[in-house]
C-alpha cells in the first residue's frame, strides 16, 4: 500500500448448487480484481451455494462446516497468500449444535484473522434466516489486515446505522457488506435496490467512510437477486458500480490519511452525546 492508500474491490456473480463451481467463480473474479490492483476483495454473502434461506428445509444444515474447516475458507486461503490480497469469506458455520451466518477474514498471507457472526438475523418471506442461524455472539469486528482496518457486516446488518457507527468507532478505514438480496416474494411490485443503496450511502456520509457492498445476481427458482453492487466514497457518492446482470468486479482506491483527517474535521465523533442515547 504505497502512500497509505487502499484499493478495494467488490465481486458480483450468480451461484448454483455446486460448491466447487461457486468457489472457482469467486477465485477467478478474485484473480481478475487482484490483477487490477485490488488489495481487499469482497465476495457476496453465502456464495457457497444457492441462497437457501428462502424456505425452511432441514437438509440445508448439512451444508454448514466449522469456520476454519469450511471449504470456501480453505480454498481461498492459499489464493489470498498467492496473490497477496485479503478476502472476507462469507460462510454457513456450524459450531457444535449452533449454526451461524458467519464471515472469516483471510489476510494477505492466507492467515485467518478470526470469525464474525452476523448480528442481525432477518425473518420474512423469501429471507427466513431465523430458522437456520442463531444471532451472532462475536460482537462487531474490525480486522487489522495488511492493508488497513476493515469493518465487515453481513447483509441485514447493513440496514442498521448502529452497526456502521460501532465499526467506525472501532477504527475501521472502510466498511464492507457481503449481501444476498433481491425480489420480495410477497410483493412483486416492491424493488428495494435503490433504498438498499441509500441506506449504506448514509452510513458512508455519517461516518465519513467508504462503503463497499457485494451482491449476487441471477434467478434462483423465482427469487431474482438484483446485483447493483457498488462502492461509495466518504461522501456517499457512488464511485463504482455494477448493473443487475453483469458478472464481474469493481474497484476503487482511497487515501486513508485523507480520510482520517477529513473524518476528524467533520466532528461527527467529537460531537457524539452517548449519555443521551437511550
CA R_g for the chain: 18
Q: How many residues does the chain have?
A: 278
Give CA–CA dist 245/263, Å, rounded. 35
The set of cell numbers assigned to 59 is 437438509
Of these residues, 118, 129, 141, 220, which one is catalytic? 118
Of these residues, 45, 93, 129, 220, which one is catalytic? 45
Clarify whether 53 is annotated catalytic.
Answer: no
Give CA–CA dist 98/92, Å, rounded. 11
DSSP 3: G
Dihedral, CA of residue 160, residue 162, residue 168 and residue 172, to nearest 10: -50
Element (H, E) at 80: helix 71-83
Of these residues, 54, 72, 94, 155, which one is catalytic? 155
Pair 162, 202: CB distance under 8 Å: no
Clarify whether 130 is annotated catalytic.
Answer: no
Clarify whether 118 is annotated catalytic.
Answer: yes
Shortest CA distance to 63 belongs to which of 50, 74, 76, 75?
50
Catalytic residues: 45, 118, 155
Amino acid at each position: 500500500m504505497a502512500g497509505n492508500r487502499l484499493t478495494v474491490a467488490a465481486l458480483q456473480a450468480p451461484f448454483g448448487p455446486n460448491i466447487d463451481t461457486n468457489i472457482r467463480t469467486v477465485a477467478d473474479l478474485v484473480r481478475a480484481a487482484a490483477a487490477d490492483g485490488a488489495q481487499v476483495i469482497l465476495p457476496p454473502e453465502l456464495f457457497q451455494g444457492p441462497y437457501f434461506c428462502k424456505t425452511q428445509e432441514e437438509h440445508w444444515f448439512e451444508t454448514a462446516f466449522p469456520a476454519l474447516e469450511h471449504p470456501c475458507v480453505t480454498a481461498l486461503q492459499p489464493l489470498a497468500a498467492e496473490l497477496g490480497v485479503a478476502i472476507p469469506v462469507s460462510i454457513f458455520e456450524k459450531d457444535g449444535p449452533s449454526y451461524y451466518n458467519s464471515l472469516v477474514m483471510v489476510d494477505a498471507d492466507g492467515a485467518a484473522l478470526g470469525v464474525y457472526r452476523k448480528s442481525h438475523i432477518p425473518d420474512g418471506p423469501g429471507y427466513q434466516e431465523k430458522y437456520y442461524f442463531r444471532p451472532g455472539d462475536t460482537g462487531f469486528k474490525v480486522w487489522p489486515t495488511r492493508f488497513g482496518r476493515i469493518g465487515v457486516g453481513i447483509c441485514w446488518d447493513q440496514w442498521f446505522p448502529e452497526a456502521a457507527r460501532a465499526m467506525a468507532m472501532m477504527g475501521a478505514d472502510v466498511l464492507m457488506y457481503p449481501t444476498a438480496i433481491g425480489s420480495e416474494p410477497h410483493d412483486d411490485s416492491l424493488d428495494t435496490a435503490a433504498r438498499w443503496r441509500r441506506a449504506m450511502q448514509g452510513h458512508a456520509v455519517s461516518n465519513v467512510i467508504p462503503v463497499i457492498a457485494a451482491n449476487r445476481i441471477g434467478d434462483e427458482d423465482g427469487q431474482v437477486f438484483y446485483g447493483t453492487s457498488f462502492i461509495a466514497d466518504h461522501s456517499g457518492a457512488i464511485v463504482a458500480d455494477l448493473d443487475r446482470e453483469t458478472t464481474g468486479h469493481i474497484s476503487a482506491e482511497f487515501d486513508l490519511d485523507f480520510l482520517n483527517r477529513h473524518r476528524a474535521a467533520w466532528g461527527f465523533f467529537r460531537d457524539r452525546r452517548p449519555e443521551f442515547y437511550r
